Amino acid sequence: MKYKLIVADGDGTLFAPSETVAPFPSENLLRKVKQAGEKGVLFTLATARSLSWVENLITGFDLKVPMILDNGAQIYDPTSKKYLWESVLSKEDAEKTLSILSEDKALRVFIVDSGERLTDPGRIKYWKISKILVLGITPKKAEYLYRKLSINPNVFVTKSVSGRGEESESIHVTNLMATKKVALEKLLEILDISRDEAIGIGDSYNDLSFLEICGLKVAVGNAVPEVKDIADYVSPPYWEDGVGDVIDKYVFKSKGKMQKSKV
């Protein structure tokens, strides 16, 4: 199979999970992405981050292909600098979600309204909320919030690993149609690329939906067990440039550092 597109998650896949602006990619990975492009294989992101938190990745990778942002709520074209598609929370669903989260004053809640990340619901101006995010919680708290927030049938709730340590998990709430899977389906239509021609690479729970529709599903070595379970290939972890290993093996056809393969 000749693959035409690589879609990679950010935190925990390309770089260490972080609550700050995305770290600059390694020189090795930048070089391999560029070389893949020279062979006609496109590269893009499917990240839970908003635009302002990935601008250095756009510059570093010299990205020209539309990318998936805010956990699937937006598709952004770095060439035209325009959003090609977005699906925001209704005001009612946003208010319901924020009401539930306000019950625990210790939670660190962030609201993305028209691209601006807010911490105070009172500062919401436009009610074009692409995502509501809770950072720095324990796996137990993440599971509790996941179950409680998922009662609303109009929202899509996912867990993710967004940091390190005991309070490393996060919760992402988007519109029901705002998932990485739905966004990738739309992106593939835009690019006129089939599912079978796409390589998806991820590490966490919120990557499961988009990985399931990719021709090649890859989990980096540090991925959660649920992602490894559906993977066709398990690459080295992000700190060993696992994405670069995937490019070596499936674009350049070298042996790579295979850990698990079913293809």
> Each residue of 42-67: pLDDT tens digit?
999 999 999 989 999 999 999 999 99
In whole angstroms, what is the distance from residue 35 CA to residue 247 CA? 9
Q: In the listed set 132, 158, 175, which residue is the last one of a domain according to the structure?
A: 175
Model pLDDT for residues 205-251, shown as the tens digit of each residue: 999 999 999 999 999 999 999 999 999 999 999 999 999 999 999 99
167 and 105 share one domain: yes
CATH number at residue 44: 3.40.50.1000
- Coil, strand or helix: which one is 233? strand
Average of per-residue pLDDT across 3-22: 90
Q: Are residues 107 and 171 in the same domain?
A: yes
The stretch 101-116 carries a mean pLDDT of 95
Q: Are residues 42 and 144 in the same domain?
A: no
| pLDDT number for residue 33 | 96
In sequence order, the 6+-apart residues with CB closer than 8 A to the CB of 213 are: 181, 184, 185, 195, 198, 200
Same domain, 150 and 212: no
Do 79 and 183 belong together in one domain? yes
Q: Mark which of 175, 199, 232 sits at the end of a domain.
A: 175
Distance of CA 199 to the CA centre of its chain: 14
Would you place residue 260 in the very low, low, confident or very high pLDDT band (cuts 50, 70, 90)?
low
Residues 202, 235 share a domain = yes
Tell me the average pLDDT across 75-85: 97
Q: What angle do CA 20, 76, 28 make, to 5 degrees?
A: 55
The arrangement of strands across the sheet holding 233-234 comes to 42-45, 5-8, 198-202, 216-219, 233-234, 260-261
Please spell the DSSP secondary structure of 155-219, one letter per residue: EEEEEEE-SSSTT-EEEEEEETT-SHHHHHHHHHHHHT--GGGEEEEE-SGGGHHHHTTSSEEEE
Tell which residue, 238, 237, 239, 233, has the closest CA to residue 251. 233
pLDDT of amino acid 105? 95
What is the Cα 112 distance to its own chain's centre?
15
Q: State whether 49 and 163 are in the same domain.
A: no
Q: Which domain holds residue 148?
A: 91-175
Q: How many CA atoms lie within 13 A of 147 on its CB side?
A: 5
| pLDDT band at residue 25 under the 50/70/90 scheme | confident
> What pLDDT is attached to residue 17?
85
Given pLDDT bands bounded at 50, 70 and 90, which one contains residue 169? Answer: very high
Does residue 38 share a domain with residue 95?
no
Number of independent structural domains in the chain: 2
- Regarding whether 13 and 133 lie in a shared domain, the answer is no
Rounded to an integer, what distance in angstroms lies between the CA atom of residue 127 and that of residue 78? 24
Same domain, 39 and 110: no
Please tell me the predicted confidence (pLDDT) of residue 23: 80
The per-residue pLDDT for 163 is 65
Please tell me which residue, 167 or 142, carries the higher pLDDT value: 142
Which of 130, 150, 175 delimits the end of a domain? 175
pLDDT of residue 261: 58
Percent of the chain with pLDDT over 90: 86
Q: Give residue 238's pLDDT.
A: 95
Mean pLDDT for the stretch of residues 145-153? 97
Predicted TM-score (pTM) of this structure: 0.89
- What average pLDDT does the segment 77-99 reach? 97
User: Within this chain, do residues 56 and 99 fall inside the same structural domain, yes or no?
Assistant: no
Residue 9 has pLDDT above 60, yes or no: yes
In this structure, the answer to whether residues 36 and 75 fall within a common structural domain is yes
CATH of the domain at 145: 3.30.1240
